[in-house]
Amino acid sequence: MARDDKSRTYAKALQEIKKGSIESAYFFYGEEIFLADNLSQAIVQKIFKSDKDDFNVHLFYGKESRSEDILNNAMSFPMLADRKVVILKDAEQLEKNGRDTLAKYFEHPLDTTVFIVISSKPDFRQNLFKKLKDSAVCVELKKLRDNEVPAWIESFAESKGKTIDARAAMLLASKVDVSLRELSTEVEKLATYVGTRPEINDEDVETVIGVSRQFNVFELCAAVGQKDFVKASGIMTNMIRHGEQPVGMIAMMYRQFMILWNICEMRENGRSTQEIEKVLMNQFRIYPNFFQNDYWPQAQKFSVAEIHKCMAFLLEADSEIKSSSVKDDTIMHQLLFKLTRAALI
């Protein structure tokens, strides 16, 4: 079993790397393997102050590489540098004897080599992966939850020398069917589009990604918050027509009601508007103008009991869409009716 001090979250590992705390052995594994490329690139960038080093960064793939070549490379000294980086991708595809040979290396890894092993489907009964769990810095790359994607977008934009405001990140993240690799491409497009401007905003997302200002998930949430079924229904219909996924809409509406729930509870407990505004900024990154113009007026239309009903309706619809044969737009129309008529149901 891996020692606790060797296990890291993606965010923690990235933070350590950026600070210059770089170990001799890393093991990145799991289903969101794109994040392994982010971490590997961060290591290369930190060591060499560049995105690459032709002499000291060596990439191998398990299916087409021999363990002898990988091992010889890892055990050779760097050229005109203090360290070298060896990256082995698809380690699970390396032939068995090769995996066993590499396992012995990780008993005493060289200080002058940073050896990164990446695997999407490791079998921890095998010697190599057992040894890595014991000796390497291990990062399990789990698929990000919907509510974690905006923060990842902000971090990736920062790596490209840009900031992206919270509303823009959420708008981009609402495309929950999009992979992180594709999202990274969209952020790179946005960074190019804004040119020398340091910040990416929601108008940029609408222009570059093709999201309609009139028919986007924020407008849908606002219409639901205003209890306007006709408007919400029209926005939802147009969003589906333009390829937006109902699951993404539900995720964003659930977040909306989570925020409204917090406001209503604090309001009923006698907290001042200023206090509530501060809490929302800290917990949800809701800026004062959005609080005053959107969330606070919407919260006046709901009681805590209504919000609990709405959150149950959202979970029920999410389950239906994933398992029912009923058309998605039918489920969504029924959902919007319930959300905007919760007090009567």
Which pLDDT tens digit goes with each residue over 305-324?
999 999 999 999 999 998 98
Which of 50-54, 107-111, 278-282 is modeled with the greatest confidence? Answer: 107-111
- What secondary structure does DSSP assign to 236-258, as a single string? HHHHHHTT--HHHHHHHHHHHHH
Give yes or no for a contact between 310 and 333, defined as CB atoms under 8 angstroms apart. Answer: no
Residues 136, 162, single domain; the answer is: no
pLDDT at residue number 40: 95
Q: Can you tell me which residue has the tokens 């992979």?
A: 179
Q: Any idea what the CATH number is for the domain that residue 170 is in?
A: 1.10.8.60
Domain count, the chain: 3
Query: Both 222 and 204 in a single domain?
Result: no
Q: Is 176 helix (H, G, I), strand (E, B) or coil?
A: coil
CATH number of the structural domain spanning residue 116: 3.40.50.300
Q: How many residues does the chain have?
A: 345
Residue after which a domain boundary falls, among 140, 173, 189: 140
Task: Say yes or no to pLDDT of 279 above 70.
Answer: yes
Do residues 54 and 70 both lie within one domain? yes
DSSP designation for 240: H
The CATH number covering residue 263 comes to: 1.20.272.10
On whether both 107 and 12 belong to a single domain, the answer is: yes
Looking at the fold, whether 175 and 113 belong to one and the same domain comes out as no
- The reported pLDDT for the residue numbered 213 is 58
pTM given for the model: 0.64
Same domain, 175 and 221: no
Q: What is the mean pLDDT of the chain?
A: 89
Q: Are residues 225 and 333 in the same domain?
A: yes
Considering the domain architecture, whether residues 40 and 88 belong to the same structural domain is answered as: yes
pLDDT at 326 exceeding the cut of 70: yes
Same domain, 23 and 115: yes
Write the pLDDT tens digit of every residue in 130-163: 999 999 999 999 888 777 788 889 888 988 899 9
Asked if 34 and 113 sit in the same domain, the reply is yes
**Are 223 and 135 members of one domain?**
no
* Domain range for 201: 146-209
Write the secondary structure of 74-108 as one string of H (helix), E (strand) and C (coil).
HHCCCCCCCCEEEEEECHHHCCHHHHHHHHHHCCC
pLDDT at residue number 170: 84
Residue 135 shares a structural domain with residue 12: yes
Of the three residues 209, 235, 263, the one that is the final residue of a domain is: 209
| pLDDT of 10 higher than 50 | yes
Sequence letter at residue 150: P
> Among 193, 209, 225, where does a domain finish?
209
